[in-house]
Structure 1
Amino acid sequence: MPVAIANFTLFAASQVATPGPANMVLLATGARFGLRRALPFVAGVALGKQLIIWPIGFGLMTLQDTVPLLFTALKWISVAYILYLAWRVAGMRLGVGNASDAPPGFAAGLAVHPLNPKAWAMIATGFTTYVSAGTPTLQATATIAICLLSLQFILHPLWTFAGERIAASLAGTASERYLMWSLAALTVLSVLFALFGGGKAA
């Protein structure tokens, strides 16, 4: 089979479902604004991974050998953006869906995965491990894109809803501040693990 769909889907599910920068941000956004208000952001996060999949599928990673500075710059821009998101998370307070400020929108969601080092690592692994040599580029890329998008449309709202449920329990309590700090810390740790520990979670 040109693409090992079952094996790739299991691999991708294990990555998309586990904690990482994107999921920590989704959890915090759900805690602050609730799933319903966060849905445009969730959709943006899910679709944003397509902005990585298609360029990688059509050979973007081959540029790493010819233009290494481009990828070094992208890596550190990504780190800076995720750290900024972590700082925002640390300052959030739980609104249980009733926060008066506007939730992040679709465009903000689109930027999360392209600036997420773990997403790049996961997708590159997908192409190098689960695609047979000689597979047509369009077929391989479309298969990986569809598998990941399907998983994200299921799992990303679940992370956001989990944040909403946590907020319902902790909003206004002494634990609220510590929860947001913990989410911010997990976001930072997940980026450090992606850079230096070989992690690939979404």
Structure 2
Amino acid sequence: MIPASLAFFVFVGLFSPGPNVILLTASGARFGFRATVPHILGVAIGVGITAGLTGLGLGAAIMAVPMLTVVLKGMAMMWILHLAHSLYRATRAPRAQSAQRPFTFVQAVLFQWVNPKVWAVALAASSFVADQGPVGAGLALALAFSAINLGVCLFWTSAGHLLGRLLADEALWRVFMTVMSGAMALSAVLVLL
């Protein structure tokens, strides 16, 4: 059973804008809901794995090695900036003809390893299950993060899909993608905090 306080904390932490929310909203707008499903599932599974490993103690172990923390932050910042640049350059080409494509399931799972927001929320959430021991805490966090984030991902992808239909004008599309890429770049800068 997932404590209500943990569920609420995880929901607020994952629902608020961050790299996953931005990418899923943009993907829903660019490629449609159906094409983004592998990305949705990859995020839901990936955050569950990351949170579960945090509950098992991996997060604390990483934080205990300052140089490893610096390397992970650097990797995260570079990858997120790359994604921001890709969003900025995103075209409005018809979906079937576009060489661009949404994240695959595996890409979305792997992205969670360098997603600083997921690590931060998982580390903070581990305090809600500290009394359960490493295995219990790991399972509780994995289940809470995957289940709750699946709903979050479905919401933001649907919102992006609806926005994509409203943004038929090329100028509006360009404004939307500029805002999305700027928000993504800002999240890269926040990695350093």
The equivalent residue for 1:174 is: 171
The equivalent residue for 2:142 is: 145
The equivalent residue for 2:113 is: 114
More helix as a share of residues:
2
Aligned pair partner of 1:157 in 154, 159, 165: 154
* Amino acid in the other structure paired with 1:73: V
Q: 1:4 to 1:47 in 2, by over 3 A?
A: closer
Give the secondary structure class of the aligned counterpart of 1:104: coil
The equivalent residue for 1:18 is: 16
* Amino acid in the other structure paired with 2:111: V
Aligned-residue RMSD, C-alpha: 2.0
Structure 2 stretches lacking a partner, 5+ long: none
* Amino acid in the other structure paired with 1:112: F
Q: Distance in 1 between matches of 2:65 and 2:75?
A: 16
Once structures 1 and 2 are overlaid, which stretch shifts more, 144-153 or 3-12?
A: 3-12
* Amino acid in the other structure paired with 1:8: L
Q: Is the 8 A contact 2:28 2:159 kept in 1?
A: yes
The equivalent residue for 2:65 is: 67
Q: Distance in 2 between matches of 1:63 and 1:178?
A: 42
* Amino acid in the other structure paired with 1:139: G
Offset of 1:99 from its aligned partner?
A: 5.2
Q: Distance in 2 between matches of 1:122 and 1:29?
A: 23
Once structures 1 and 2 are overlaid, which stretch shifts more, 89-98 or 176-185?
A: 89-98
The equivalent residue for 1:123 is: 122
Give the secondary structure class of the aligned counterpart of 1:142: helix
Q: Is the 8 A contact 2:25 2:159 kept in 1?
A: yes
Offset of 1:195 from its aligned partner?
A: 3.5
Aligned pair partner of 1:136 in 133, 138, 154: 133
Aligned residues: 192
Q: 1:72 to 1:183 in 2, by over 3 A?
A: same
Q: Is the 8 A contact 2:14 2:118 kept in 1?
A: no
The answer as to 2:7 corresponding to 1:9 is: yes
Offset of 1:43 from its aligned partner?
A: 0.8
Q: Distance in 2 between matches of 1:62 and 1:99?
A: 46
Offset of 1:4 from its aligned partner?
A: 7.1
Once structures 1 and 2 are overlaid, which stretch shifts more, 25-34 or 169-178?
A: 169-178
Q: Distance in 2 between matches of 1:104 and 1:144?
A: 24
Q: Is the 8 A contact 1:20 1:191 kept in 2?
A: no
Q: Distance in 2 between matches of 1:77 and 1:145?
A: 24
Offset of 1:151 from its aligned partner?
A: 1.0
The equivalent residue for 1:34 is: 32
Deviation track 1:131-170 (CA, whole Å, cap 9, x = no partner) reads: 244x222111111111111111111021111111111111
Q: Determine what percentage of the aligned residue pairs are the same residue.
A: 28
* Amino acid in the other structure paired with 1:149: S
Give the secondary structure class of the aligned counterpart of 1:195: coil
Give the secondary structure class of the aligned counterpart of 1:136: helix
* Amino acid in the other structure paired with 2:164: A
